[in-house]
Amino acid sequence: MEPVCFPPSHPFNECVMASDLYKPPVPAIQTPQSTRREPSRPAEPSRVIRDPVTGRSYSKGRLLGKGGFARCYEATDLSSNTTYAVKVIPHSRVAKPHQREKIINEIELHRDLHHKHIVKFSHHFEDADNIYIFLEHCSRKSLAHIWKSRHTLLESEVRYYLKQIISALKYLHLKGILHRDLKLGNFFINDNMELKVGDFGLAARQEPADQRKKTICGTPNYLAPEVLLRQGHGPESDVWSLGCVMYTLLCGYPPFETSDLKETYRCIKYVVYTLPPFLSASAKNLLTGILKRNPEERFTLEEILDHEFFTKAYTPDKLPSSSCMMAPELSPPNPAKSLLVKVTKTLFRKRKSKVKKAASEEKDDISKLVSGLVKTSICRQISHKTVDGNEVTPLNGQSPRCSPAETVAEESSQKSISRSIRGTTASSCEGENYSETNPASLACHEHFVWVSKWVDYSNKYGFGYQLSNHSIGVLFNDGTHMSLSADWKKVHYNLTNSKRFSFLTSAIPEQLQEQMGILQYFASYMEEHLMKGGDLPSVEEAGQLPLLLLQWVKTNQALLMLFSNGTLQVNFYNDHTKVIFSKPDHSCLLTYINSDRNSYTYKLSSIAELGCSPELQYRLKYILKLLLQRADA
Domain range summary for the chain, segments of one domain joined by +: 50-136, 142-324, 451-630
For 360, counting Cβ atoms within 10 Å of its Cβ (0-12 exposed, 13-18 middle, 19+ buried), the class is exposed
Q: How many CB atoms lie within 10 A of CB 281?
A: 9
The per-residue pLDDT for 408 is 32
Q: Which of 20, 143, 122 is nearest to 75 (CA)?
A: 122
Residue 181 annotated in active site: yes
Q: Which residues are annotated as a binding site?
A: 96
The per-residue pLDDT for 238 is 95
| 8-state DSSP, 140 | T
pLDDT 10s digits, 197-208: 999 989 999 887
The per-residue pLDDT for 43 is 52
Instruction: Tell me the pTM.
Output: 0.51
Coarse DSSP helix, strand, coil percentages of the chain, rounded to the nearest 5 percent: 35, 20, 45
Distances (CA, A) of 13 to 103, 148, 257, 261, 567: 25, 13, 10, 10, 45
Q: Which residues are annotated as a binding site for ATP?
A: 96
Q: How many CB atoms lie within 10 A of CB 481?
A: 22
Is residue 392 within 8 A of residue 435, CB to CB? The reply is: no
The per-residue pLDDT for 73 is 94
Which conformational region is residue 209 in: left (phi greater than 0), alpha (psi within -120 to 50 degrees), or beta?
Answer: alpha
Report, as ranges of residue numbers, the positions in the chain whose pLDDT lies below 50: 1-40, 335-369, 371-433, 538-543
How far is it, in rounded angstroms, from Cα 410 to Cα 346?
Answer: 12
Q: For 50-136, which CATH class? A: alpha beta
How far is it, in rounded angstroms, from Cα 410 to Cα 394?
Answer: 15
The per-residue pLDDT for 44 is 56
Is residue 74 within 8 A of residue 64, CB to CB? The reply is: yes
Fold classified for 451-630: Arylsulfatase, C-terminal domain (3.30.1120)
pLDDT 10s digits, 399-458: 223 323 223 333 333 333 333 333 333 333 333 435 667 777 776 655 678 898 999 888
Is residue 67 within 8 A of residue 81, CB to CB? The reply is: no
The per-residue pLDDT for 447 is 63
Looking at the domain that runs over 142-324, which CATH code has it been given?
A: 1.10.510.10
Active-site residue identified among 181, 199, 238, 365: 181
How far is it, in rounded angstroms, from Cα 431 to Cα 434?
Answer: 8
How far is it, in rounded angstroms, from Cα 324 to Cα 453?
Answer: 29
